[in-house]
Structure 1
Amino acid sequence: MLEDAGAKVVVASTSVRPCHGMKGGLAQPDISIADAKADDYAALVICGGSSVPEFFWNDKKLQEIVTAIHAAGKIVAAICLSTVVIAKAKLLTDREATVYYLPEAIHQLKEGGARYVKDTLIIHNNIILAEGPPDSERFGQAIRAALAS
């Protein structure tokens, strides 16, 4: 969806080894998170999935990139369990936020200072959050619209 709108998508992960999705999909990272620089990107979109708590929630470098991209006025977006990363970067303090409905995810969101609400899509200026997979289409549309403005 973003590429169809003309965006150049760069996939980053904890390593450049192929990433296997929950439903069998495969993604080849272009760069490791450790090597990524916030200045190189117009936006940051963090995908969700069952491995997000293990690999992304406590990734300090990812939190630094989130903070830097937001500080530069760029778009920061997260869906599903990855919204916790934005909370851990302290960008959701005293703001409504959503996350895939798992007790630990809700707890982590609140620990990051957010006010959990069960909503499918939340937009705070340049921060875009979506609850889970059924919201992917609206999430992508919101990101595309934000990039176009």
Structure 2
Amino acid sequence: MKKVKKVLIVIPPEKYENEELLNSLAIFDSAGILYEIASLEKGAINGHPVGVAEATEKLNDLHKSATKDYKGILVIGGPQSRDYLWNNGELHKIIRNFDKEGLLIGAVSNSVPVLANADILVRRETAAPDDQEIIHLLIKRDARYQNMPVVSDEHVITAKSTEYASELAKRMAEAILITPEITI
């Protein structure tokens, strides 16, 4: 058996924010943290504005074992996050399981509402984009919106925009590196 530290990275099935993904992967790579990319379907996914990522995991196949295999989950944003991830019941189940286990949960930019809709931001501070629809949703879901670049509240870390994805990934990496490895 091998001991590892691994993160599950979730991206929309099209037009994920390529810069958010690449910056996060660079941080995890430099910290020696493994990761797997998941989406609604396995396979090549086109990024925004450019880029292609390979989803090796399908969300529907993960909800039962995800908390055993990963130290954290990171939800990447993009123009299609609203359409595909905000109200995705399977993703919400996975996120709630991570929350119950006290595992790291991160979301960047347009994917912060995924956490609110999974009901894990209740009475938690959160960053979010300067988008009135998103801010209204967070307040409606009893999240404590903070107009800050990156916010950490317990084991949940959120970033306001793409430019802060690296900072979010750094905070996740630091937290992962101080926790025991998982055995695979």
Per the TM superposition, whether the score is higher than 0.5 is yes
Aligned residue in 1 for 2:172: 143
Tell me the CA shift for residue 140 of structure 1. 1.4
1:97 aligns with 2:123: no
* Structure 1 outlier segments of 4+, above 4 Å: none
Higher Rg of the two aligned structures: 2
Counting strand residues as a fraction of each chain, which structure ranks higher?
Answer: 2
1:32 aligns with 2:58: yes
Q: CA RMSD in A?
A: 1.2
Moved more, 26-35 or 92-101: 92-101
How far, CA to CA, are the matches of 2:59 and 2:154 in structure 1? 25
Matches within 5 A, 1:1-149: 1-36=27-62, 37-38=65-66, 39-149=68-178
Contiguous gaps of at least 5 residues in structure 2:
1-26, 179-184
Normalised by the length of structure 2, the TM-score is 0.77
How far, CA to CA, are the matches of 2:40 and 2:137 in structure 1? 21
How far, CA to CA, are the matches of 2:118 and 2:76 in structure 1? 16
- Relative CO higher for 1 or 2, CA cutoff 8 Å, sep ≥ 6? 2
Normalised by the length of structure 1, the TM-score is 0.94
Q: Is the 8 A contact 2:43 2:56 kept in 1?
A: no
Q: Is the 8 A contact 1:43 1:76 kept in 2?
A: yes
Q: Percent identity?
A: 24
Residue identity matched to 1:24: V
Residue identity matched to 1:23: P
Aligned residues: 149
Tell me the CA shift for residue 97 of structure 1. 1.3
